[in-house]
Amino acid sequence: MSDAFRGRTLRTIALPILAAIAGFSALPSAANAASCAGNPNALGTSRVLVVDPTEHPLIGTMQYPETLPLRDREVVLTFDDGPLPAHSNKILDMLAGDCVKATFFLVGRMARQFPAGVRRVYDEGHTVATHSETHPLNFDRMPAERAEHEIDTGIASVKSALRDPSHLSPFFRIPGLRRIGNVEDYLTSKGIMTWSADFPADDWLKISGQQVAKLAISRLEAKGKGVLLLHDIQARTVEALPIILSELKARGYRVVHVVAADAKNPKTPTEPSQWRLHPPSAPTVARTRWPAVPSHFVYAHKSQVAYPALAQLVAHQNGASKSYAKSVELLPRANGWSVRPVMTTPATASLPIPGANIFDVAEQTTGSVRRHARRPSAAAPHSARPRPARTEPSQAAASSARSPLQLLPGSAPINEAGFRQGSLQLR
């Protein structure tokens, strides 16, 4: 962990005297709804969770076995890709109006363009984290030195905007969630916690704000708690956030603010089991769209993407968790399987799997980052990735008509054109 991170001082938002008595020099306090000035119906922030990044370096069940140790009906709000004042300031206004604290994963290039926006995020009590310098969407394929440079310069840019390096939290989210072992290892070696998420709300796609809110709430309801991934640079997120906050309040959810432990602020005591979702979530469409650390996957053929074994689905549905493990061959995490899928076990039964075009969805396809933060011309194209063979649309449609897909809890319908049928269809 760097000296700057170790020396990070968490700001006191309120109750400084109580904090001093308790021996915590600067731990942010939760802004509960009752104390939210001017808004007696505020959602508020129910508690502050202090985490040690070195103990649990990879979190978020979209990709990792562990996630934040939340209680039932607790949610952590995260916003990526900012700051972009036109939208970020509205997000910050709404969060302030409800006394809700969140975590912002800022892009270095945006921070250099809008340094005041970075300071506002911090000054209003949110956790400031980073998201690379230029937001390249090929972290899983770029040379290690370039990935490290992206991480380091992004951190430097945000620190520079903050003016006080200790105001930056040692949290990082890989752009596009393009995880790979060497990047995670590098972050861990620097004492930085890699955040994936537990569910996105697809707010980078061309959908309405209402749809974003609906996805956010339905996916949260499916898991019961977790880390929500949003983007403060999107107009549709500005539109969605009031609905999300209102629904969270109405449904009895509580917002948790996450900060990093340091010498003065000890971690919140937790048990290892609290860092796992209980019960383990079933595989969902949303989950299978992201490169995850291999856990319960088999490889059918090298021309196909990895997908859950049928046995896994059955095991989850029956509430079991390990009955299928014996038949599954795993690759070591550092292997980087998302880059080079390897054939191991021919599958005799398989689920419908996402087609290559599903993986073409990029966070900033239409986002404001592209306009406001010029990307390097050498950004690697998705075409470098191995692609599965495609099924003709007419063939896929015919298969779909014979046997409609059945979505799992927490998943969202995806354009059928994005699916290719495996050898066994869900019924």
Does the bond joining 279 to the residue before it have cis omega, within 30 degrees of 0?
A: yes
Could you say which residues in the range 158-187 bind Zn ion, by CB under 5 A? 175
**Residue 203 lies near Zn ion (rule: CB under 5 A):** no
Positive or negative: CA dihedral 310, 285, 369, 116: negative
Residue number closest to Zn ion, CB atom: 80
Could you say which residues in the range 117-146 bind Zn ion, by CB under 5 A? none
Tell the smallest beta-carbon distance from residue 176 to Zn ion (Å): 6
Q: Give the nearer residue to Zn ion in terms of CB position, either 81 or 202.
A: 81
Could you say which residues in the range 343-382 bind Zn ion, by CB under 5 A? 363
Tell the smallest beta-carbon distance from residue 405 to Zn ion (Å): 28
- Residues that bind Zn ion (rule: CB under 5 A) add up to a total of 4
Q: In this chain, which of 52, 74, 80, 140 binds Zn ion, going by CB under 5 A?
A: 80
Tell the smallest beta-carbon distance from residue 201 to Zn ion (Å): 13
Tell the smallest beta-carbon distance from residue 302 to Zn ion (Å): 30
Terminal alpha carbon distance of the chain: 50
d(CA 196, CA 267): 20
Q: Give the nearer residue to Zn ion in terms of CB position, either 44 or 82.
A: 82
Q: In this chain, which of 52, 66, 81, 247 binds Zn ion, going by CB under 5 A?
A: 81
Q: Give the nearer residue to Zn ion in terms of CB position, either 176 or 283.
A: 176
Q: Give the nearer residue to Zn ion in terms of CB position, either 80 or 150.
A: 80
R_g of the chain computed on alpha carbons = 21
Tell the smallest beta-carbon distance from residue 109 to Zn ion (Å): 12
Q: Give the nearer residue to Zn ion in terms of CB position, either 262 or 363.
A: 363
Tell the smallest beta-carbon distance from residue 80 to Zn ion (Å): 4
d(CA 258, CA 50): 6
Per CB under 5 A, residues contacting Zn ion are 80-81, 175, 363
